[in-house]
Amino acid sequence: MKILGIETSCDETGASVIEDGVKILSNIVASSQPIHIKTGGIIPEIAAREQIKLILPVIESALKKEGLKIENVDALAVTSGPGLVGSLLVGLETAKTLAHVFNKPIIPVNHLLGHVYTNWITKSKIKNQNLPEFPAIVLIVSGGHTELLLMTDHGQYEWLGATRDDAAGECFDKCARLLKLGYPGGPAIAVAAAKLKIQNAKFKIKLPRPMLKSDDFDFSFSGLKTAVLREIERQSITHNPKLITYLAHEIQEAITDVLVAKTLRAVKKYKVKSVLLSGGVAANDRLREKFLDTCYSLPTTKFFAPPKNLCTDNAAGIAACAFFNFSPLPWPELRALSSLTL
Ligand code: KG4
Ligand code: ZN
């Protein structure tokens, strides 16, 4: 079964064709990020207007790459939320129109679950390949969410915890802004942190690891951001590149320490077979490295992280999720589905 996925929840416009939920046939992502770099963050109205310009060319190139016609796909899958209302509306209305004109079923997909299902995508469709097994602990770390789930089957989730304030990606973004490292903050902090050894940057500053030892599966990152602000106020940081490098490294260590520790707690409690990392922050090398090291010491638990290009927003996970949770909406409900009702 070939599913055409469409994703427009934020500043990326994605279209992808996935076969049987695992094999990637095409994956096109266009981004309006260069515009948002100038403003240091996303202005929703501008992101939505860019989605309108990009959506049809992106869908066309996703189909063209495999010499496909929309008539040949079996279903459409589209992100129905959460996300920026104006951006979501563009994808939803496009998908609804295409489904109506070409008489295709349409499956609305939760954006966060789309991130999770990038862990099922491979380049081939080999039987018995190394796919995640249940039960699994799922950590979703994106710009707006930090969620820990227990997944016992496709469509079966138990919500274990989440951030009580800022998301992990949001913390990266806000700290990068404080350090004037640019947007998006996650990759900018990772690049700055990597210079630690070259610059031999050593300072006696230890940032907090919020809620590291709390007896639950919740997270909190706003205090970390405030601690960074206090350090910036205390030191004349703009004149000290070594201090910026050191703080970037310490921010990355603090965020990744907490994410790994809380996930490990859940892995041990629920004795799961797989750990699935997903969302934009999953592209962070240090986080992946710490997870690999940790799971190495757990012989019965396998660690999964999507390829880095599938960590940030894309439509491939949306199509994969739709395959494993195939539940097309009937037309009356579909017609009523709009990002304004989400
Ligand atoms: O999942 P995503 O593309 O969009 C949302 O659904 O929010 O995640 C975007 C977030 C941003 O906060 C960005 O700074 C972060 O993912 N991010 C990273 C890295 N690449 C993207 N954070 C840390 N390290 C990275 N390499
Ligand atoms: Zn996302």
Q: Is 83 in the pocket of ligand 1 (CB under 6 A)?
A: no
Res. 28 pLDDT band, cuts 50 70 90:
very high
Give mean pLDDT, residues 186-202: 91
Give pLDDT tens digits for 323-335.
999 887 777 777 7
- Which pLDDT value is given to residue 329? 76
Give pLDDT tens digits for 227-260.
999 998 887 766 788 999 999 999 999 999 999 9
Q: Give yes or no for residue 101 having a pLDDT over 80.
A: yes
Q: Give yes or no for residue 38 having a pLDDT over 90.
A: no
Q: Is 317 in the pocket of ligand 1 (CB under 6 A)?
A: no
To test the pocket of ligand 1, the residue of 312, 313, 314 to mutate (highest count of ligand atoms within 8 Å of its CB) is: 312
- Which pLDDT value is given to residue 318? 98
Q: Give yes or no for residue 36 having a pLDDT over 90.
A: no
- Which pLDDT value is given to residue 66? 79
Cis before residue 241, ω within 30 degrees of 0?
no
Q: How far apart are CA 209 and CA 16, in angstroms?
A: 38
Q: Is 310 in the pocket of ligand 1 (CB under 6 A)?
A: no
Q: Give yes or no for residue 338 having a pLDDT over 70.
A: no
Q: In the chain, pLDDT over 90 holds for what percent of residues?
A: 80
Q: In the chain, pLDDT over 70 holds for what percent of residues?
A: 95
Residue in 23, 119, 51, 82 with CA at minimum distance from that of residue 339: 82
- Which pLDDT value is given to residue 311? 97
Q: Give yes or no for residue 320 having a pLDDT over 90.
A: yes
- Which pLDDT value is given to residue 37? 83
Residue in 136, 5, 135 with CA at minimum distance from that of residue 80: 5
Q: Which ligand is nearest to the CA of 11?
A: 1
Q: Give yes or no for residue 172 having a pLDDT over 50.
A: yes
- Which pLDDT value is given to residue 155? 93
β-strands 136-141, 146-153 pairing: antiparallel
CA 25 – ligand 2 centroid, Å: 21
- Which pLDDT value is given to residue 124? 59
Res. 342 pLDDT band, cuts 50 70 90:
very low
Q: Is 221 in the pocket of ligand 1 (CB under 6 A)?
A: no
CB-CB neighbours of 31 under 10 Å = 17
Res. 34 pLDDT band, cuts 50 70 90:
confident
Nearest-CA residue for atom 8 of ligand 1:
280
Q: Is 279 in the pocket of ligand 1 (CB under 6 A)?
A: yes
Query: 120 or 202: which carries more pLDDT confidence?
Result: 120
To test the pocket of ligand 1, the residue of 87, 142, 189 to mutate (highest count of ligand atoms within 8 Å of its CB) is: 142
Neighbour order of strands in the sheet with 274-278: 156-162, 146-153, 136-141, 274-278, 302-304
Give mean pLDDT, residues 120-141: 83
Cis before residue 330, ω within 30 degrees of 0?
no
pLDDT, the chain, mean: 92
Q: Is 118 in the pocket of ligand 1 (CB under 6 A)?
A: no
